[in-house]
Structure formats: C-alpha cells, structure tokens
Amino acid sequence: MPVAPGPALCYEFLAMPSYAITTFGCQMNVHDSERMHEVLRRAGYAEVPAAEADIIVLNTCSVREKAEQKLLSEVGRLAKQKRARRELIVVVAGCVAQQEGERLLKQARSIDLVIGPDNIAELPRLLDELVLGSPPLVRTVFDTDAPRFLTALEVVGASPTAFVTIMKGCDERCSFCIVPHTRGPERYRPSGEIIAEIAALTAASVREVTLLGQTVNSYRDPTRALSPAPGHAGGHPQTPGASTDDPDESEFAALLRRIAAEVPALARLRYTSPHPRHLTPSLILAHAEVPVLARHVHMPVQSGSDRVLKRMIRRYSRAEYVERVGALVRTVPGVTLSTDIIVGFPGETEEDFAATLSLVEEVGFKGLFGFKYSERPYTPARKLGDDVPEDVKSERLARLFALSEALLGEHLARLAGTTAQVLVEGLDKGDGLLWSGRTERNEIVHIAGAADRQLAGEVVEVSIVRHNKHSLQGELTAAARAATTPRAPLHKTGPVASHSETPGRRSLPVLAGGLAGGLAGGIAGGLARGA
Ligand code: 5AD
C-alpha cells in the first residue's frame, strides 16, 4: 500500500497531531476503522482519547435509521466542543458520508471532511489540505475502475482473530437495503492478495480469519487464478432449489480451498455475510472437505414468508432456503446456523410473522440478529410505506428473541458432558480467572481452573461442564492441560486489562453474548441489535 505523505506542514513544528476514531455499525466498518488507524499512524498521527484529540473521525453506519441518528447527535456534541476549540477537525467517514456527501456539510457546519469508504487512503492528504486552510471537503468517489483493498499493515494487540476483506459493494437489490447505494457495485479482490494477507496475519500469530464481504460468497477472482472447485457441475445449476440465474460458479469454494492449502498455519476460517443464493453445492462440499472451515454458518434469511421475501426482492423462496441449508446440515454433521431477520417489513401481517417464527423453529437457528424494519433513503421499499406500527414491531421482535433464546438454551443444555475444541481468544474481563473462546460451532466457552496456563491463541480441548444462558462453561481435559504452558498465577484483585491477554473480538455473529473484550452482544442474547 502506498504510504501517504507525512503530516501537515503546519504541524511541522508542533507536537504530533492526534486523532480519535469512533466506529458505528458492522464488521466492515470496524475493519475500515482499523485501516484508518493504520493510514493515520503511518502519516505521523497519534491516537489519543477523544476528549484530547485534534481530529475526531466518526465512522458511520446507515443500514438503519437509528445508527444515523446517533451520528447526528454526536456531531451536535462536537459542534459545542468546536466552539471552544476552533482548531478541532471533525471528519465523517463511512456509509452516511457516502450517502449524504455534500448535504452533510450543509446540515452540520461543524463537519470539516466527509470521506467515503473507498477514499480512506486519501485521509492524510485531505487533512493536510484542511490544516493548510482549505474549506470543508467532500471525497466520496467509488473506486469502481481500479478497486483497492487496504491490507492490514500491522497486527496490533496480538489478537488471535482477524478480518480480511475479499469483496466490497453489493449487486443484489434487496428492497430494504441501502448498502448498494453506500458501498457501490461488487468489486472483488485478487485471490493472491487475499492469501498473502492471511499468510502475513498467521505469521503474526493470528489463528482465525473471517473473510468479509457484503455478499461474501458471490466472490469471483478478478485475476482468474482459481480453477473450478469440486462439486461444481460445469456451470449448470445444481444447487438444491436453484433457479437458472443461480449457477454454481464455485469461485468462493475454490478460494476457501486455496486458502486452506496455502496457509496451513491457519487454525480456523470463517466468513460473513453470505447470501443464500450462493450457497451452492461446491460451497457445501468445501464445508464437508476442508477441515479449517468452522462448522458454523451465518446465513441471513430476513423472513420466513414467501410473500415478504418476494417484496424484499431476496430472490429465493422459503422452500429454497430450507432446501439449501438442509443440504449443508446433511453434509456437515453438527454445523450450526445463525441468521438475520427483519420484523415489521411493510405489509408484514401476523400470518407472515408466524411464518418467520415457524422457519426459525424449522431450521433450528442457534442464534439470530433481529431488526425492526427501518425505512431507508434510496431504497425500493420506500414505495411500500412503513405501515407496521412501532409497538407491533417491538412485540414481534420480543417474540422472535424469546424463541431464539429457547432454541439456544436447548442447544447449549445438550452440550453438557461433551468435549469441544476451543480457540481461546482471551481472559474474561470480570475477575480475569476464566479464559474465553469459541468452539468451531461458535458457542462461547469459558474455561475454569486454567488461569495458571497460557492459553491465548491456543486451540484446546475442553470438557463442557455446564451451560449458562448464552455460553458454556468447561475445563481443560487432562491431555490439554498437560500440553499447555504455565503462566504467572493471577490473583483475584480485580479486572484484568492486559491488552495482549484480552484481545477481544469485535462483533461477529456468535452463538451467544458476553465474551470478554467487548463483544457487542450475542445473537441470541435477547439482544435487539439495531432494533
Ligand atoms: N431495516 C432493518 N434492518 C435492516 N437490515 C438491513 N437493512 C435494514 C433496514 N432497512 C438488516 C438485515 C441485514 C442486516 C445487516 O441488517 O437483516 O442482514
């Protein structure tokens, strides 16, 4: 990645300019924020707490209205600070920036820079211009002709888990969704670049990689370096329930296989979020044959009613969805599924919602993110109105969560007495006496009686002793204990905050909430994420 020019001239004789980034929204935004940190650090900026920063970056999300409102209230708060500190620079980045562009500057005079997700590398240059006296700037240009994917340059904090972007943008046209507008058309990253980044991450002690993309499994290699994956039938649609516009191109499956073959040090491979249309036979076969692939798939369904799915323009029916995930479950024993669901989509009747509940039961999701429908600008669904009353949306969401909690509870209860391979991510916040990690199936496991072992980043065998509401508790098996190395004992003196030992995990769909280190909330934790 080209390194941006040095810090602004005006800063030349001053202390290092400082910045803070606040992130709203999804994994993609978290990932973009990490790239902004790198770009800024490389250009000589120092990260400090927001209250002390010369530059505040708000990295925004616009998938639901609530996230956008949060941004505007934050901008309002900063406007007050700016009255006292005129040199403060306020940057709005991310999806709201892309969506609103110039309009944001008109709406909030305290904003100095509006920058889209594809323009992150230009951040230092644009800040230089501002420091040199430029009026407020807007830079929201999609890199459609020459897509760039910023690579992780540093592995900070030695987290055993990392995200790697493999595609960006979205060519689907789901009627509720603003993403095609804020992230542009689909662009794919060369497979060689993806593999090189994963190899570099594992060399720096990352054990688990999650491939990121808006419809991650529609991936195609722009360099055509992948050969067709097994299971693919010469491009003919073989997918259970597939229509002719869903051929099995198998490129995503081929990429997964290539990563597994070329980066043997990787312990686990996940991806998010796929589209059910691309849950093809070659992908299912890859799950069966590639051991590094975790046995958990987050497959957004959105609704269980065909009438609603059609109005959402999801391009599959309930039966097709069930058929496809059914084929996955039959082929990959023990695989767990989680999903995203929108309640209160325009025109959703009680009967439609009952169909969603029955689908959740039929598939047996072990976790879900549930959202109340939020009307978004530029989306086709605006034409449909927003006719489900707020209290009905809330009540449906509560029923959805109650069902999801019950399904998760039953699932976790069945696991007591079994053993599981746990990738340990860090020590629990609390008293720091429990290690936490996740199984291949994505259940969260707290490991007791092992505070004297060094487990961060290790895959260890754990006997599951009991289940909590959203997680499991277990102990190292004797063999696992013998195979691990000791560490200095911890005393029960209060929270442990050692950065290297509580690397934390950032808001990926997991089957339960409450993992140490800031998981934004669990799928099934009764959590109305974004609702
Ligand atoms: N209203 C509510 N939820 C939405 N999502 C996307 N757009 C909207 C909207 N307009 C949800 C979908 C998607 C998840 C990331 O956010 O469930 O899968």
What 3-state DSSP class applies to 368?
strand
- Look at ligand 1, atom 9, and give the residue with the nearest C-alpha: 374
Counting ligand 1 atoms within 8 A of each CB, the residue from 24, 273, 311, 340 with the most, and so the one to mutate, is 340
pLDDT at 232: 78
CA separation for the pair 348, 316 (Å, rounded): 17
Q: Which amino acid is at 388?
A: V
What pLDDT score does 159 carry? 87
Atom 18 (ligand 1): residue with closest C-alpha? Answer: 340
What's the whole-number mean pLDDT along residues 349-364? Answer: 98
**Enclosing H/E stretch for 198:** helix 191-203
Q: Which atom of ligand 1 is nearest to the CA of 178?
A: 7
Q: Give tens-digit pLDDT for 34-57.
A: 999 999 999 999 999 999 999 999
> From ligand 1's centre to the CA of 200, what distance in Å?
33
pLDDT class for 26, splitting at 50, 70, 90? Answer: confident
pLDDT of residue 488: 73
DSSP 144-193: -SS---PPP----TT-SEEEEE-EES-----TT--HHHHH-S-EE--HHH
Determine if ligand 1 sits within 6 Å of the CB of residue 529.
Answer: no
300 lines ligand 1 (CB under 6 A): yes
Among 64, 277, 368, name the best residue to mutate to test ligand 1's pocket (greatest count of ligand atoms within 8 A of Cβ).
Answer: 64
Region 477-493: what's the mean pLDDT? 81
Ligand 1 atom with the smallest distance to the CA of 369 is 17
CA–centroid distance, 205 to ligand 1, in Å, is 34
Closest CA to 97 of 89, 108, 88: 108
Q: Which residues contact 391 (CB under 8 A, 6 or more apart)?
A: none
pLDDT at 233: 65
pLDDT tens for 165-219 read: 999 999 999 999 999 999 999 999 999 999 999 999 999 999 999 999 999 999 9
pLDDT at 510 over 70: no
Amino acid, res. 47: E
Which residues partner with 345 through β-bridges? Answer: none
| CB of residue 374 inside a 6 A radius of ligand 1 | yes
Cα–Cα nearest to 167, from 201, 211, 123, 135? 211
| pLDDT: which is higher, 522 or 74 | 74
Mean pLDDT of the chain, nearest integer? 88
| Percent of the chain predicted with pLDDT > 90 | 79
CA angle at 230 for the pair 264 and 329, rounded to the nearest 5°: 85
* pLDDT tens-place string over residues 98-116: 999 999 999 999 999 999 9
% of the chain surpassing 70 pLDDT: 85
pTM of the model: 0.89
> What is the atom index within ligand 1 of the atom nearest the CA of 300?
18
Residues 6+ apart with CB under 8 A from 117: 28, 32, 93, 94, 95, 97, 98, 168, 182, 183
pLDDT above 80: residue 130: yes
Terminal alpha carbon distance of the chain: 38
Q: Is 340 in the pocket of ligand 1 (CB under 6 A)?
A: yes
Say if ligand 1 is within 6 A of residue 339 CB: no
Judge residue 284's burial from the number of C-beta atoms within 10 Å of its C-beta, 0-12 exposed, 13-18 middle, 19 or more buried: buried
Q: In which band, very low, low, confident or very high, does the pLDDT at 490 lie, cut at 50, 70 and 90?
A: low
